[in-house]
Structure formats: C-alpha cells, structure tokens
Amino acid sequence: MMRAMTAILGLSLGLMELGACKIVPNPEPGSESAASQTDDDRMAAKAGEIYAAQLVPYVAQKAIELPTLTGALQGGFDAAGQAHGVRPQAEGSPWNFLLKGQGTVIEANRESRAATMALDTTGDNQADVTIQLGPVIKGTALRDAADFIVFTDYRDQIEFAKLARALNDRAHGAVKLPEGDLTGKTFRFEGAATLRTATDPILVVPTLLEAAP
Amino acid sequence: MKLTRRLMISAFGLAMTMAMPSFASAEGLIAIITPSHDNPFFKAEAVGAEARAKELGYDTVVMVHDDDPNKQLELFNTAIGQGVKAIILDNAGADATVAAVQAAKDAGIPSFLIDREIKESGIAVSQIVSNNYQGAQLGAEEFVRLMGEEGKYAELLGREADTNAGIRSSGYHDIIDQYPDMEMVAQQTANWSQTEAYTVMETILQANPDIKGVISGNDTMAMGAWAALEAAGRTDVIVVGFDGSNDVRDSIKAGGIKATVLQPAYRQAQLAVEQADKYLKTGSTGVDEKQLMDCILINADNADKLETFALAE
C-alpha cells in the first residue's frame, strides 16, 4: 500500500516536473527491453528520480551565501573547502561548493550554446559569479557537490559521467528566463560550483534561478 | 632477485611457490599485475607501486597479463598460491576480470585496482582510476582551441573492451560536438597500439588528405599517428593524445604533437599500495571503493615539468 502510494506520488511528481520527459514502463528485469535501455536512458531516468526530489532541496538547505565563500577563500583554499565544501574521497579532487545569492546581471552571453550570465552581488559593478544557463553546462559540479551521489554505486565512469550530464540537462531545463537583454535585471540563485584553486572564476550550475523583485 | 623470482614463478608455478618458504620482508608479499610494460604508462604504474611497497616494508612480485584475461587468471592463481597479502592490478577487461578478483577475495586476498575499473563493486577493496571523462574534456577543449574551432579531424579509438576507450571518446565528443564547424571524417580503433595507429593513420590520410587534426585515445596511438604524418610530410596536422608519456612530452617540446592529458599513473599506483597497507593493518582503507583522480592538461607551457607520469610542483 505504502509502496503504491509512493509510486503514485512519484509518478505525479514526475509528470509535474518532467514535462519534456517520456514516461517509460518499468521493464521486466533481465528482459530485452531492460537490456536494450541505453546508459543515457537509464541515467536520464536516475536524474529524473533524484533532481527535484533530492538535489534541489539539498542545495537549498546547504547553500551558503556567496560572500561567506569569498571571505573563507581569503583564509586559504583548503580551509575554505574543509569549512564549506564537499569533495569526493579521491586524492586530488577539487572542492565543490553549494552557493546562493542575489545579483544584477552585468553581462550575459546567450549566443553561445554554453550560455552564461555574470552577476554583481556586491553592488560594485563587478561580476562576482557566473551562472551557467546551457544548453551546454560544463563540468560535474552538481553531481560532485551532492554527498549522496557516490561513484561506487555506479557501474563505471561512463554511467557516472552520463549521470552528471543528465543532472546538468535537468538544471538547464529548469532555467526560465525572459527573452531579450538580461543586463541590469536582478536574479536570485542557488546552485553548485567546482573550484580547483582559490582564484578560479566561480561558475555556478543553478538549481534555482528567479527574477528578484 | 626480482628476475629470478619472476622466472621461478612462471617456470614452476604453483607447486614451486607453495614449496617456497616465506619471504624475508616483514610485511609479506604484494603482487603487482599490469598490462605489458611495452607501454611506458604501465611500466610507470609497476615501478610506482613497487617503490612504495618496498618503502612500506613489503616484498613485491611484478607480473604482466598482456591484456589476456586467461593469462590474468593464471597470474591470479599463482599469486593466490603464493599467499600474497594483496594484489595491485591494472586489469585485462572490465567484465572478464570480475572472476579473477572474486577468486582472490574468496581466498582472503584483497585486490586494489588502478587505471581501469571492473563492472562490479564490492569485490575489489579499492578501484582508483583517472577521471577519464574530465581529462578527455580537457584534451578536447585544447584540441578545439588549437583547431580554431573548425576543420576536419579524425579520432583514434582505444581497445573496445576497455572502459577507458569509451569514456574518453564520450568526453571528447561532449565538447567537440558542440562546435558545428568541427567535422569528424574518420573514427577508427587502433587498439591502443603505436604500430596499428601508424597503419590506420596512413589509410585515413589517403582517404582524407585535407585532414587538419587527430585526437587520439592515448599517447602511444598519438605517437603512431604522428610518425605516419611525419612520413607523409604532414607535420601541419594537429595531434592531441592522452596519458602524459615522456615520448609525447618530448614530441611536444620538439613542436610535434601539440598536447596530451596527464593521468597521474605513478601516484595512483603508489596510492593503491598505501591503501592496501592501511587495509591490511586496520581492516579498512577509510575511503570509498571507487575513486576518481583528476587529470591535468599538458602542452608546451608545462611539458617541461612532466616526468614519468608525474608533474613536478
């Protein structure tokens, strides 16, 4: 009964959230359709399962204000990472940060397939953070900033990479922006960014992006 | 000593190794099994693992499976018979290796995998692999930049059974395919091999004389392709590899191949031994089984600092 409820809830959530997604029936384990499902399909489904239900609330709950990060970075990169970052347990992994803030668009590039907009969050007319808008969203920040997504749970790097792509696709799909020039408009954001050094530009994959009043 | 032991193992096999008394070292024996050392990448792994194991007080036995799963299984049986404490492995196939690692586990011997994954978790204790997807994206970004975001190019693929061949190609295309003026005119496997890459490159050149770039799944194939391009007087073609070998480093410094992506193979092998040591002493490595190590772009700017699959600070 409980399971049926969950399934119905999941399905209705899925229908609400995933307008562009096709609903596929659960294949019989070991059946041909299970075998013929591609990595892309399976990871897209997995991303659909976790994005709205887990990832968006996770970011909302854990995100720190941008100045908290920039302040902490003054005290050293690793110290900032230890205090506020998430990173996989592999040696040499970069730090990932969950961030939130509000800023005015200084510059937007909507021509590129890897569209971005740069925000000034401090009022000095300088860009402090760049929001990735997609459709091409670079990197794996969203996947790697989530401590509940662990590489060991995935078959191999291919699957794990495709999960990152699928999560980025979800993030892009959720971006709703007004047409035309964004310069001067104000937005509130939440999202994830990967930093390899303290001086890396902060490039956020948004899980929330909304016009601020 | 090492050569003697290696010969003894291969010549007399299980019976002989069973009869041999325990080794002199305090901590016991660690088996290091990799593909053929003909590729300096695998040699660097073996050297790195061996050096760290000796520092930590272990004796080592170094073996090669030549990418033959049957041979790999024999080597595992030899190692199991020998009563090694742990196995450091760069494996001979994501599917075929599962049985070998399981056999070692059943015999109470933990395996620590480097470079290549197997398709199951929970059998090996560690799987430490380069972040091939991240590395391939780095290589592709540099390739696109060098190509001026346009032109005809060929891709040389690695061995199909190897997960790394697929993941690198996928990382390359996730970047390159975003540029509509980049046109792939050939995509062929050369099975990681320098000689095969030479032949494949010759054929591709004949069919596509207007080719502008070649992106290769590893450095040995990049070297083979570069040799074919040189022989054809086509040193204008942009070649990008993957691995960070000294051969490609030297080619970059001489203005030949343009870039590669360093996998920290030496460190990875050492790390596997460190995790084996910790596991043997405490029953846990303290980290997740599967670990991705980031790769580093190598071009004319930093090629000087590269030596034996490690970048000097």
Looking at CA atoms only, how far is residue A160 from chain B in angstroms?
A: 9
pLDDT score recorded for residue A77 = 94
**Whether the predicted model's global pTM rises above the 0.90 cut:** no
Nearest to B178 among A90, A136, A196 (CB): A136
Q: How many CB atoms lie within 10 A of CB B36?
A: 12
**A7-29 pLDDT tens trace:** 554 444 444 444 445 455 554 44
Q: How far apart are CA A168 and CA A145, in angstroms?
A: 13
Minimal CA–CA distance to A132: which of A205, A182, A211?
A205
For residue B232, count CB atoms less than 10 angstroms from its CB and return exposed for 0-12, middle for 13-18, buried for 19 or more: middle
- The amino acid present at B201, given as its one-letter code, is M
Residue A110 has pLDDT above 60, yes or no: yes
Chain A residues touching B287 at Cβ < 8 A: 89-90
> What does the block give as tokens for A1?
């009964």
Q: Going by DSSP bridges, is the β-strand pair B182-189/B260-262 parallel, antiparallel, or unpaired?
A: unpaired
With residue B64 as reference, give the H or E element that holds it. strand B59-64
Q: How far apart are CA B263 and CA B249, in angstroms?
A: 13
Residue given tokens 């010759």 in the structure block: B202
Secondary structure (DSSP) of B226-255: HHHHHHTT-TTSEEE-SB--HHHHHHHHTT
CA angle B293, B294, B298 (to 5 degrees): 135
Interface contact B117-A160, CB threshold 8 A: no
Q: How many CB atoms lie within 10 A of CB A96?
A: 23
| Cβ pair B62, B98 in contact under 8 A | no
Instruction: Please give chain B's pLDDT, 313 residues, in tens.
Output: 444 454 444 444 444 444 444 445 678 999 999 999 988 899 999 999 999 999 999 999 999 999 999 999 999 999 999 999 999 999 999 899 999 999 999 999 999 999 999 989 999 999 999 999 999 999 999 999 999 999 999 999 999 878 889 999 999 998 898 888 999 999 999 999 999 999 999 999 999 999 999 999 999 999 999 999 999 999 999 999 999 999 999 999 999 999 999 999 999 999 999 999 999 999 999 999 999 999 999 999 999 999 999 988 7
| Cβ pair A83, A95 in contact under 8 A | no
| Cβ pair B111, B101 in contact under 8 A | yes
Q: How far apart are CA A74 and CA A68, in angstroms?
A: 10
* Chain A interface disruption, residue of B129, B134, B168, most A CBs within 10 A: B134
Q: Which residue has the higher pLDDT, B175 or A105?
A: A105
Residue A31 has pLDDT above 80, yes or no: no
- Bridge partners of B183, per DSSP, are B152
pLDDT score recorded for residue A136 = 84
Interface contact B292-A157, CB threshold 8 A: yes
Q: How far apart are CA A75 and CA A58, in angstroms?
A: 26
Interface contact B133-A160, CB threshold 8 A: yes
